A and B are shown apart, each in its own frame.
Chain A
Amino acid sequence: MNKQKIKLIGTAISLLLASNYSYAAAVTLDVTAWKGNEAEPAGFPVLLKKFEQENPDIKIKLSFISRGDTDVVIPPRLQGNNSPDVMMVDMPLVKIWGDAGMLKDLNTKSDWYGDIAPAIKESIAPKGKLYVQPLELVGMGNFINTDLMKKAGIDKTPTTVNELIDSCKKLNDAGISPMLFPSGLSARLFAFANGLSRSPSKPWELGNGTASFVDDPGFNKAFSLTRDLIAANCFDPKIQAALDPWTTTLSEFRGGRVAMVMHGAWNIKSFSETEGLNYTLGPIPTDKATGTALDTFGMGWAISSKTKHAEAARKFLNFFAEDENLAVLLKDESAYSPYIKGTDGVPALAEKYNAARAAGNIVMWPVYMNHWPQAMESESVDGMASFLLDPDMSSKEVLEIWDETVEDSM
């Protein structure tokens, strides 16, 4: 074998080793999320491609696991020390996994934490430990079919309860079904927005037992106002008690068979794709002139405390903290930025909802801020369903059970 051949073989081996080294240096980040599938892409296809282009040494392996199954599938992986590097979380998950030491402290000195909106800033780092990077705040308000409202001679978005009752009367006179009010969501939106906006107590005081629901004038008033809506024939309470908020309610509104439905802004994308549906998103009618915006903490990223790729995971989170990138997700989700000067993704049709926010009339969905225990999520559905089935019952009967639920969760 002559020297030239030996040199060639040597070069080939070096090249091979170099390519192997560069392969080994590439990190594959295991990410789980309940977004990014066909039904709710949340801009992920674009964003993940962009991230990989900007970070050629990091590959993203995204696994779709629905929110419901996250509770089942992720804990074994966390306990088995084989967790995903980055996980999509909401606040109840942050509480459980963070308290169990399964999440990495992202540190309140992170560049992006200083820019977080005041409404959630303290709640996401309650004991000085920051386990979640918020991705969105989602509005929940009153969707209004503008064509049906015009037919009934209504040209103003109802922002107060009195205006809502007046709209119901006009719609009924025009032979139009005024609204759907399923206990699973809409009834709770109305009760929580009215209860929290009128309550003298802070939401977390109700959720930690310092204050009680049964003595709260705001929540008692909320039930009384629900009774007023029933009296004004805004909806048939017995039918609404068991109506599915996620399928039938949405298809009825999309089909133009009902004038109003209180629901989440995440529907904006699919409603806007429905031919012939003209609508707006208003706030939840309360005693405030602008109405009340009811925001919820949608989702965020958390890093596993056992990750072997902490640096890559941080880069991934920092990418989503950049306004230009987050704006893509927020536009697809029709959501608000969790950052003070962030670009919101909510379209102009939510102008009235935005006005309520701008006026500072915002309440946060208490369970998803960990202000109330998670058990209140199902208990509030049961409470509203009981009330709709028997509107003559005293609100105290429902509110006593809510207090007991809080007490049991402590």
Chain B
Amino acid sequence: MSISMNKSSSGSPKGNGMKFTGKTVFSASANVFVLFLVIAMLIPVAYMIMMSFRTGSEIAQDPLGFPTSLYFGNYINAMDKMNYFRSVVNSLGITLSVTALVSLLGSMAAYPLARRTNGFSKAVIMLVSLGLATPNFVNITPIYIIFRDLGLLDSYVGIIIVFTALNLPLSIFFYTGFISSVPKELEEAARLDNCSNWQIYWHVIRPLLGSATATLSLFVMLMVWNDFIYPLLLLTDESKFTVMISVYRFVGNRSIEPDMLFPAAVLGSLPLLILFGFFQRRILSGVTAGAVK
């Protein structure tokens, strides 16, 4: 928050005190607004974490109260019943594989679509965009039947292919717009050096996609990590279950027990939070790259 305090050299009454310009007042108000917004967004998360350290009886007596002591029994119970470490490894493997594939295949497909602006390319982009608009319940049965026929049910490969396919339309759409804004002169210079199309993509275009890839990865990772419908549909072997399916075991049909669900939800989100924290600088620099010219 910045408030400018200008001391007038003229010594006039107007200039003796603090001088709030319109710009600084606006900036301060905006900062306060953003601060409230952040607090409002963090309250449910803070509530979930606080509740996860309280016993069921404590929560019933005072649902909004602070924990008087940290009760770890809920976490021990949740970890024991979630097959936690195995399911986290499964989720990490699937999420990272899908993110890498979506970034690579999406950018490869987007490069020619961005550069060849003929009718065919436009038609392909339109077709790909349809993938973004198709509701999940339309896809789910055909996907199941195709994967059954391919023998890919209950396999890591199957679930990775499904998530990759579901996220490719977004990726292609995203990268096409981004690559269109890359100056063609860069490619022409590479072509003068006898670079092939593949070499231009790999050595010129791909390194410029850092910011787009960072943003896209955020979306894809969140979507894949949090989804449990496709893992539930395609995976039947419990040892292959993702962490969200494990969390889901704590949700009742007719009631919710906060002391069971909240620690499981915290444990389910924790690996992704750690991952984001670890790559925070890289993601942020990627997201904001190009924002300032």
Contacts and interface: CB of A to CB of B under 8 A. Distances in A.
Contact of A37 (B62, B144, B233, B250): B250
Contact of B253 (A63, A67, A77, A256): A67
A64 B251 CA distance: 11
Contacts of B250: 37-39
Nearest to B140: A76
Given A40-B253, A246-B255, A80 B60 contact: no
A216 interface: no
Contacts of B255: 39, 246-247, 250, 266-267, 270
A202 interface: no
Interface residues of B, number: 33
Interface in B231-279: 232-233, 236, 248-258, 260-261
Contacts, number: 92
B63 interface: yes
Given A73-B232, A76-B141, A246-B254, A38 B148 contact: no
A39 B260 contact: yes
A247 B252 CA distance: 11
Given A37-B249, A38-B249, A270-B257, A251 B60 contact: yes
Contact of B249 (A64, A73, A80, A255): A64
A65 interface: yes
B127 interface: no
Contact of B236 (A30, A273, A275, A277): A30
B214 interface: no
Q: Main SS of chain B's interface residues?
A: helix
B137 interface: yes
A352 interface: no
A408 interface: no
B60 A66 contact: no
For chain A, give the interface size range.
35 or more
A264 B255 CA distance: 10
A39 B257 contact: yes
Contacts of A267: 254-255
Contact of A251 (B59, B248, B252): B59
Contact of B256 (A34, A65, A247, A277): A247
A293 B105 CA distance: 61
B144 A39 contact: no
Contacts of A40: 252-254
A80 B148 contact: yes
B110 interface: no
A77 B148 CA distance: 9
A18 B140 CA distance: 42
Given A76-B141, A80-B141, A80-B144, A254 B60 contact: yes
A116 B253 CA distance: 26
B145 interface: yes
A72 interface: yes
Nearest to B82: A38
Contacts of A250: 255
Interface in B205-235: 229, 232-233
Nearest to B256: A247
A69 interface: yes
A82 interface: yes
Contacts of B141: 75-76, 79-80
B254 A66 contact: no
A149 to B, nearest CB: 19
A61 interface: yes
A61 B236 contact: yes
Nearest to A254: B60
Contacts of A80: 141, 144-145, 148
Given A66-B248, A73-B232, A255-B62, A34 B253 contact: yes
5 contacts: A37-B250, A39-B252, A68-B253, A73-B233, A246-B256
Interface of B: 56-57, 59-63, 81, 137, 140-141, 143-145, 148, 153, 229, 232-233, 236, 248-258, 260-261
7 smallest beta-carbon distances between A and B, as pairs: A39-B252, A76-B144, A254-B60, A76-B141, A37-B249, A80-B145, A255-B60
